[in-house]
Amino acid sequence: MEEHIKIFDTTLRDGEQTPGVNFTFDERLKIAKPLENWGVDVIEAGFPASSLGSFKSVKAIAKALTTTAVCGLARCKKTDIDTVYEATKDATKPQVHVFIATSPIHLEHKLKMTQEEVIASINEHVSYAKELFEVVQFSPEDATRTEIPFLIKCVQTAVDASATIINIPDTVGFSYPTEYGLIFKKLKESIHSDNQIIFSAHCHDDLGMAVSNSLAAIEGGARRIEGTVNGIGERAGNAALQEVALALYVRKDHYCIESKINLKQTKKISDLISRYAGIRVPRNKAIVGQNAFSHESGIHQDSILKHRETYVIMTPQLVGVGTTELPLGKLSGKHAFSEKLKALGYDISTKDQVALFKQFKEVADKKKDVSDRDIHAIIHGTEHEQSAIYQVENLQLQYVSKDVQSAVVVVKDNEGQIYQDSSIGTGSIVAIYNAVDRIFKKHTELIDYRIESVTEGRSTCSAHY
Ligand code: KIV
Ligand code: ZN
């Protein structure tokens, strides 16, 4: 099989260590299968010894997946390793990930162990894991703050005890690309084994370098990258796998090795994780952000229309995003406006477009983005799309019983007319929208709903429908 960069997805383990994220059992299963379809090689499904919930979901995922390896995390403790064995034994390809911290600061303050004790523990627990698993991965936690000679000693011990995957975690996101890449180079030169050893990178994003560090690891000889979808994870998160996969694809001229990620499903998996984690992807996030394929500047829009590659290094279709957006705004020029008219199916003479373009500019001065509906309105001589036709004037919620809430909703339209009604529902949101349905005598579809804390202890809620 052609060599490829293996992708180890830890969205369900390190990703779930994101403050505020807690996937339910069902969500974990609903995430695991799409991850397999996305093409990751290994899924770290959880830390089974940490809770019964984690154990049960790792077990269910192990049973559900058919091609992807399923891995569980274990401390250097036989009971942890046994629990991973129990949880993953039904997997097509079970794996265990054994770790212990190796940096001086962790040894002194966290483990209170000497270096000799750590070496003995690695030998004992990796050897034990090898009795139960064909594939054993070992991680020296906080590797990037471990002195290189001791790091080499730890890794050689793990390899001698039959670990075949060595993961080098930048646990606190402290390293930088050249330094991190050199650690892999050094390890590859120093570690000896009769087995083929795969070196793996695991980066945190505290300094915003997780993806760059992962790519530098590949240059240093790593052949497996650990990370999460959307880069969720402990503190600032982990390396965003979609960025690693796309960098390898778009810059294959440089890396000369790719992953087996099914790039077309990237946006879909990103949306899924965003929804279940309850974490919005920033608009400007590479590849999966709403703006990732939008070109706002008039100069850019004009150039793209003349020759796409002037400002486009990858198509949105490559990652499963429907179309390239050339959003019309106040910076858009005549060329982009004219193309938009064509795309919307209008055949308007250049002469007539002059007046329409003037009107468009007036609207664009008032609104940040000019939507397709605004364009239709300009052409048909109606008002441009209003940002809000109705506003909530008053809202009262009442707890009726465990499963029944009631809502009184008062809305005002932009001519000052008041409408009101009340309803009940199984929760307060359902009650509110039932009341809204009664006001408008229509079924409203809730498209987006958010509760955001403005300051500690106070919340605002925004909904679009
Ligand atoms: O960041 C880290 O060190 C980890 C280990 C458990 C590998 O997540
Ligand atoms: Zn981590």
Q: How many CB atoms are closer than 10 A to CB 372?
A: 12
pLDDT at 9 over 60: yes
> Which of 4-18, 197-211, 315-329, 441-455 is predicted least confidently?
441-455
Please choose, from the candidates 23, 25, 18, 64, the residue with its C-alpha nearest in 3D space to the C-alpha of residue 43: 64
Q: Tokens for 336, please give them.
A: 């982009």
| Residue 388 to residue 394: CA distance in whole angstroms | 16
Q: Which residue has a Cα nearest atom 5 of ligand 1?
A: 141
Position 454 scores a pLDDT of 45
Task: Compute the distance between CA of residue 454 and CA of residue 252 in angstroms, rounded to an integer.
Answer: 44
Q: Is the CB of 226 under 6 A from ligand 1?
A: no
Q: What percent of the chain has pLDDT over 70?
A: 94
Looking at domain 6-277, its CATH class is alpha beta
Q: Pick from 13, 14, 172 the residue to mutate for probing ligand 1's pocket: most ligand atoms within 8 Å of its CB.
A: 14
pLDDT band at 459 (very low <50, low <70, confident <90, very high): very low
As a whole number of angstroms, the distance between CA 425 and CA 213 comes to: 50
- Residue 208, Cβ density class (10 Å: 0-12 exposed, 13-18 middle, ≥19 buried): exposed
Find the mean pLDDT for residues 217-246: 98
Q: Check residue 17 and give its pLDDT.
A: 94
Of the chain, the percentage scoring pLDDT greater than 90 comes to 79
pLDDT > 80? residue 311: yes
260 CA → ligand 2 middle, Å: 22
pLDDT for the residue numbered 450: 65
Distance 249 CA to ligand 2 centre (A): 25
Question: What DSSP character marks residue 239?
Answer: -
Q: Which of 77, 95, 139 to mutate to test the pocket of ligand 1 (most atoms within 8 A of CB)?
A: 139
Residue ranges of the chain assigned to CATH 3.20.20.70: 6-277
Identify the pLDDT of residue 403. 84
The number of C-alpha atoms within 13 Å of 311 and in the hemisphere containing its C-beta is 18
The 3-state DSSP class for residue 263 equals helix
Instruction: Quote the ligand 2 centre to 389 CA distance (angstroms).
Output: 47
Q: How many beta carbons lie within 10 A of that of residue 340, not counting itself?
A: 19
Among 128-137, 267-276, 423-432, name the one with the lowest average pLDDT: 423-432
Report the pLDDT value the prediction gives residue 234, as an integer from 0 to 100.
Answer: 95
pLDDT, position 374: 81
Residues in the chain, overall count: 465
Q: Is the CB of 145 under 6 A from ligand 1?
A: no
Q: Is the CB of 139 under 6 A from ligand 1?
A: yes
Q: How far is the CA of 456 from the centre of ligand 2 (A)?
A: 28
Q: Flag whether pLDDT at 376 surpasses 90.
A: no
Give me the residues paired with residue 43 across strands. 9, 70
- Render pLDDT for 313-348 as a digit per residue (tens, 0 to 9): 999 999 998 766 778 888 899 999 998 888 787 889
Query: Distance, CA 225 to ligand 1 centroid (Å)?
Result: 13
Check residue 387 and give its pLDDT: 58
pLDDT band, very low/low/confident/very high, at 390 (cuts 50, 70, 90): confident
One-letter identity of residue 395: L
Q: Whose CA is nearest to atom 1 of ligand 1?
A: 171
**Is 376 strand, coil or helix?**
helix
Q: 135 alpha carbon to ligand 1 midpoint, in Å?
A: 18
75 lines ligand 1 (CB under 6 A): no
In angstroms, the Cα distances linking 370 to 348, 362, 418 are: 19, 10, 29
DSSP string for 2-44:
---BEEEE-TTTTGGGSTT----HHHHHHHHHHHHHHT-SEEE
